[in-house]
Amino acid sequence: MNQRERFIRKIVYASIIAALLIPLSWLSQPETTESKGGKLAQLRSDYRLSQAQLGEIDPASETIKLATLGMRGVAVNLLWGKANEYHKNEDWVNMAATLEQLRRLQPNYVSVWIFQGWNLSYNISVQFDDYHDRYYWVIRGINYLQEGTQYNANDPQLLSKVGYTIANKIGRADEKFYFRQLFRDDDDFHGDRPKAQRDNWLVGREWMLKAEDAVAEGVPLRGETPMLFYSHPVMCLINYAEALEEEGVFGEVAKEAWRKAAHSWTEFSNRDLPSQMNIFARLSEMEAYQERSRKAQETLAKFTSEGIRDEIMKEKIATLPEEQRALFEADPASLNEDKLQQRAYLEYSMAVQHYEVADRVQGENRAAALKAAEEATIADEMARNIEVDRDIVNYDYWKLRCEIEPTEELLTARKQLYDANDALRRAEIVKSLELYEAGMQSWRKVLDAHPQLIEQVDTVDELAMAVDVYKRVLDQNDKPLPKPFVLQDVLDKLAINRGEMSPEEVQAAKAAAEAAASDPTRPSP
């Protein structure tokens, strides 16, 4: 190639570049007050990607991004490494400065705000001995997250994290009693917010509701399932009611707190949420689907002979390989854990389906039988999906708590045990013992009225702790635990939950104790 050809090629390339600049210039025209700008500006506007729509515009941030000359990603990686190094060396001043540079470089990268806010509130705060210093860094992390919402307006994930940190870090920390008090007295954080509204659970809930509003406006929810996302504001009200009781607030104040929690739980239960199968359903509808299935199965049974399901099951068993058939017919007590798991999977796969029953129906009733089988199958599937979702949020337990906590009987029982602990702290042993005994009697009435509570691990653990303290008070008065003990079923359930005794052993011990009580000459077990 001679010099003339090279020159011509350069001219061609320059012409092509010049020609491309025309459409590029048209496409990239910026938006102004008089014009919507080019195509790129219109797309940014339509998808809300411009900085003005994402949040506040920070001139210093924009200047720093330009100064990196397209190497912003490299700069961010270097700063992340520096931040981790300062954290390791406990150089909090330089770490704070590095975090400031990071947020200037990536103000719209939500993960930066979330990670570093969490780092300040959860990791750095625990490095200090004094709870005042710990609280300072917790609030600093919260302030960092709040600052992120200024540059990422209406981002549900960030708004929710602000509320979650306020609620849970302050309300569940080991120093929560001190943190909650410091938070109520923190005028710098709250400004002119009335003290009565400064509870961390209520303030955290406000931010979570802002996140819900953002989702309602069409902002996509990322990083969390809708089930958990919408459960957080409800749990804040429940935790607020629990915190009041832990701090000795009972009566109408506690009742009203639990009533609001119950109302919010009902709203949450009736919210349309995507299930595990990505089908929208309501947590409150499981029983309705179960009833729908029962009625459909009754209709199906009208078209089939009695015992048809057993007949189909026998046919399935007959087709199994000998090893699987022996496993299916074996006594469960003779199987080890591995074999039991295999048997459970086999039983699940061998279950007789409704359509298998309907398929046996011939003649004029076949269509009706197939329709009933379809209705029962769909209802069963929906009920199972809702049951899985209920387990995720511990639905049955919290629903029961919201229903019974505002009752006078349960509030009385909780207050008596609280007063007993308070008397014990003041070394009023006799009074403490009286209050403990009254509290145990009150709890007996509650458990008799709501026997399902004894099946809840949290309730059993809570009462077991109270019984342990009660035993120590009895020891100080040289008294044994009364027999029969009014909450013996709680201790029995605790032993079963911990694997210390089997249900059969508990029943045997109970029978022996009853026999000994009826025969004074017989030694007690």
Of residues 417 and 88, more confidently modeled:
417
| Structure tokens given for 423 | 């008397």
CB atoms within 10 A of CB 508: 13
Q: Give tens-digit pLDDT for 53-71.
A: 444 445 555 555 555 656 6
What is the per-residue pLDDT across 370-383, written as a single tens digit (0 to 9) for each? 999 999 999 999 99
Per cent of the chain over pLDDT 90 is 50
CATH number for the domain including 207?
A: 1.25.40
Residue range 280-301: mean pLDDT, rounded: 95
Nearest to 398 by CA among 291, 282, 492, 264: 264
Q: What is the pLDDT of residue 53?
A: 44
My answer on whether 320 and 436 are in the same domain is no
Task: With respect to residue 128, please indicate whether it lies within any of the assigned structural domains.
Answer: yes
Question: What is the count of structural domains for the chain?
Answer: 4
* DSSP tag of 330: S
One domain for residues 35 and 105: no
- Give a yes or no: residue 230 inside a domain: no
Distance from C-alpha of 506 to C-alpha of 496, rounded to nearest angstrom: 8
Domain contains 131: yes
Asked if residue 188 is part of any domain, the answer here is: yes
Q: How far is CA 374 from the centre of its chain?
A: 34
What pLDDT is stored for residue 522 in this prediction? 52
What's the whole-number mean pLDDT along residues 439-463?
92
Are the C-beta atoms of 388 and 396 separated by less than 8 Å?
no
Residue 276, in any domain of the structure: no
Per-residue pLDDT tens digits for 337-376 = 888 888 888 888 888 899 999 999 998 999 999 999 999 9
Dig out the tokens for 98 from the structure: 């590095």
Rg from Cα positions in the chain? 33
Q: Can you give the pLDDT at residue 329?
A: 80
CA distance 387 to 283: 8
Region of 449 please: left (phi>0), alpha (psi -120 to 50) or beta: alpha
CA separation for the pair 132, 206 (Å, rounded): 25
Q: Are residues 38 and 73 in the same domain?
A: no
Range of the domain at 306: 285-393
490/461 Cα distance (integer angstroms): 9
Co-location of 218 and 290 in the same domain: no
Residue at 451 is within a domain: yes
Flag whether 525 is in a domain: no
Report how far residue 161's alpha carbon sits from residue 147's, in angstroms, rounded to the nearest whole number.
Answer: 12
Query: What is 340-377 written as a DSSP string?
Result: HHHHHHHHHHHPPPHHHHHTT--GGGHHHHHHHHHHHH
CB of 300 closer than 8 Å to CB of 358: yes
C-alpha distances (whole Å) from 95 to each of 84, 133, 242, 396 are: 8, 16, 37, 45
With cut-offs at 50, 70 and 90, classify the pLDDT of residue 164: very high
First to last CA, the chain: 108
- Lowest mean pLDDT of 131-145, 263-277, 338-352, 425-439, name the range: 338-352
Q: Are residues 418 and 370 in the same domain?
A: no
Encode burial over 303-324: b for 16+ CB neighbours within 10 A, e otherwise.
bbeeebbeebeeeeeeeeeeee
Identify the pLDDT of residue 63.
58
Residues 295 and 161 in one domain: no
pLDDT of residue 42: 65
pTM: 0.80
pLDDT tens for 17-28 read: 877 777 776 666
Q: Tell me the C-alpha distance between 458 and 497, whole Å.
A: 11
Domain co-membership, 299 together with 365: yes
Q: Which of 63-77, 117-131, 134-148, 428-442 has the lowest mean pLDDT?
A: 63-77
Q: How would residue 222 be classed by pLDDT, with cut points 50, 70 and 90? A: confident
Question: Distance (Å, rounded) from C-alpha 439 to C-alpha 451?
Answer: 17
Q: Do 432 and 487 fall within a single domain?
A: yes
Q: Phi, psi (5° rounding) for residue 307?
A: 85, 10
- Whether 154 maps to a domain, the answer reads yes
Work out whether the CA dihedral 340, 342, 345, 348 comes out positive or negative.
negative
Picking from 393, 424, 443, the residue at the C-terminal end of a domain is 393
User: Do residue 75 and residue 189 come from a single domain?
Assistant: yes
90-94, 417-421, 497-501: which range is least confident on average? 90-94
Residues 86 and 216 in one domain: yes
- Mean of the per-residue pLDDT values for the chain? 86
Summarize the confidence of residues 478-484 as an average pLDDT.
86
Confidence class for position 8, pLDDT limits 50, 70, 90:
confident
Does 294 lie in the same domain as 191?
no
Residue 52 has what pLDDT?
46
Q: What is the rounded distance in angstroms from the CA atom of residue 162 to the CA atom of residue 206?
A: 10
pLDDT at 271 over 70: yes
**Is 75 found in the same domain as 167?**
yes
Q: Are 372 and 299 in contact (CB under 8 A)?
A: yes
Q: Once rounded to an integer, what is the mean pLDDT over residues 117-141?
A: 92
Asked which of 245-254, 309-318, 395-404 is least confident by mean pLDDT, the reply is 309-318
pLDDT(38) > 90? no
